[in-house]
Amino acid sequence: MAGSDAMQQLTILGATGSIGVSTLDVVGRHPDRFGVYALSGNSRIAELAEQCRRFKPSFAVVADAHAAAQLRERLNSWNIRTEVLWGVEGLCQVSSAKAVDVVMAAIVGAAGLLPTLAAARAGKKVLLANKESLVMAGQLFMDTVQKSGAMLLPIDSEHNAIFQCLPKGYDPSEQCGVRKVLLTASGGPFRSIPLNELATVTPDQACAHPNWQMGRKISVDSATMMNKGLELIEACWLFGLSPNEIDVVIHPQSVIHSMVEYVDGSVLAQLGNPDMRTPIAHALAWPERIESGVASLDIIATARLDFGEPDLKRFPCLGLAIQAAKEGGSAPAVLNAANEIAVEGFLQGQLSFINIARIVADTLEKHEVAELDSLEHVQQLDTEAREVALKLIRSTR
């Protein structure tokens, strides 16, 4: 179990990404509370080197031996004694090391699964941004958390909001009066453009989110609303809910980050500026509260909060994800793998925006849903679904 010293030692998986940078921004405001044990990055070696210069972690982890040599050279020239590791083994080592109390899981996609699971297995306080690991292996992940006594805190703004609106010590197996969860969604950059224009939107347009600054994969997921579907699956696992207990609500201002409705008719919401440093600071300090650097919400300037129902014709990916959530078993893992391949294809210019949903639907169609019995099974399904999706992309060109 993680140590209980006042100073918390932190590993940040995916430190060079959008969530990683925001995490270091919060951590940098509280040098008395948090020490940085390890940082990881994939391709941005120069940025990772700068982060090491500033935060002096014991370890840094990169993708491969070549990147490790590059980073070592830079750090040596600055006389910085961070030890450089590489590969999945390096990631798992720094997420499970004895000296670590808290692991921020902010790698994007399936690549985050093994190191996040390693942190859970080691009983760490796991701050979960990498929703894909729960979508792929929810049961396995939650069983691991249960067994090890790890603490799982959601970073996704919606799930962090739901967590804040649920009763303290919430246990899904106990009667606590929750009727349903209202999962809010901005609707992304294409919420109201004419449907016939969707076929020709570009990756840059898809990544220009109206309210949030995020990595490119999650930005495209927000534009297709697959992100909300993945979040619905994530919420089912985190809070022990069935898909029927979650309503997706379009709320373009992204000021309410989600809501919980109780049987007496009370609806609790968490509000704030759309800035990930709020959920990050909340989870880092929980159950205390710390400064995050986020500006005060100007509720007068906000003036109005709008709500609407999601249009599944415009956002077929959301429908596919809800269906996969209801089917359960292997369906979400296959959905996730096909989506990662399709989004990458779109970002590389090999696939049009509207064909993302097509690839995911066709991959699911070819799959027979089964129970997931092991990590190896999840990985095998993930590999197979990626191959199917890749073939489908090639055949649409």
List interacting residues with ligand NAD (CB under 6 A). Answer: 14-20, 41-43, 63, 106-108, 111, 129-132, 156, 212, 214-215, 217-218, 276
Pick what 220 binds: Mg ion, ligand NAD, none; C-beta below 5 to 8 Å, kind-dependent.
none
87 or 240: CB nearest ligand NAD: 87
Cβ atoms of 238 and 166 within 8 Å: the answer is no
3-state secondary structure of 176: coil
Other beta carbons within 10 angstroms of residue 276's beta carbon come to 25
- Which region, judged by CB under 5 A, interacts with Mg ion, from 102-110, 156-164, 181-189, 194-202? 156-164
156 touching Mg ion, by CB under 5 A: yes
Q: Give strand pairing partners of 128.
A: 105, 154
Other beta carbons within 10 angstroms of residue 323's beta carbon come to 15
Q: Work out how close the CB of 156 gets to Mg ion at its nearest, in angstroms, rounded to a whole number.
A: 4
Cβ atoms of 185 and 250 within 8 Å: the answer is yes
Q: How many residues bind Mg ion (CB under 5 A)?
A: 3
Q: For the chain, how long is the longest CA-to-CA vector?
A: 63
275 touching Mg ion, by CB under 5 A: no
156 or 261: CB nearest Mg ion: 156
Q: Work out how close the CB of 22 gets to ligand NAD at its nearest, in angstroms, rounded to a whole number.
A: 7
By beta-carbon distance, which residue lies closest to ligand NAD? 17
Q: Work out how close the CB of 327 gets to ligand NAD at its nearest, in angstroms, rounded to a whole number.
A: 22
8 or 157: CB nearest Mg ion: 157
Pick what 382 binds: ligand NAD, Mg ion, none; C-beta below 5 to 8 Å, kind-dependent.
none
Other beta carbons within 10 angstroms of residue 296's beta carbon come to 7
Show the 3-state SS of 333-380. HHHHHHHHHHHHHHHCCCCCCHHHHHHHHHHHHCCCCCCCCCHHHHHH
Tokens of 74: 């830079």
- Which region, judged by CB under 5 A, interacts with Mg ion, from 10-18, 105-113, 154-162, 389-397? 154-162
215 or 319: CB nearest ligand NAD: 215
Q: How far is the C-alpha of 334 from the C-alpha of 154, rounded, in Å?
A: 23
By beta-carbon distance, which residue lies closest to Mg ion? 156
User: How remote is the C-alpha of 302 from its chain's centroid?
Assistant: 27
3-state secondary structure of 9: strand
Q: Work out how close the CB of 132 gets to ligand NAD at its nearest, in angstroms, rounded to a whole number.
A: 5
Other beta carbons within 10 angstroms of residue 299's beta carbon come to 10
Q: Work out how close the CB of 25 gets to ligand NAD at its nearest, in angstroms, rounded to a whole number.
A: 13
Q: Work out how close the CB of 198 gets to Mg ion at its nearest, in angstroms, rounded to a whole number.
A: 22
Q: Work out how close the CB of 279 gets to ligand NAD at its nearest, in angstroms, rounded to a whole number.
A: 8
Q: How far is the C-alpha of 35 from the C-alpha of 171, rounded, in Å?
A: 31
Q: How far is the C-alpha of 85 from the C-alpha of 92, rounded, in Å?
A: 11
The footprint of Mg ion (CB under 5 A) covers: 156-158
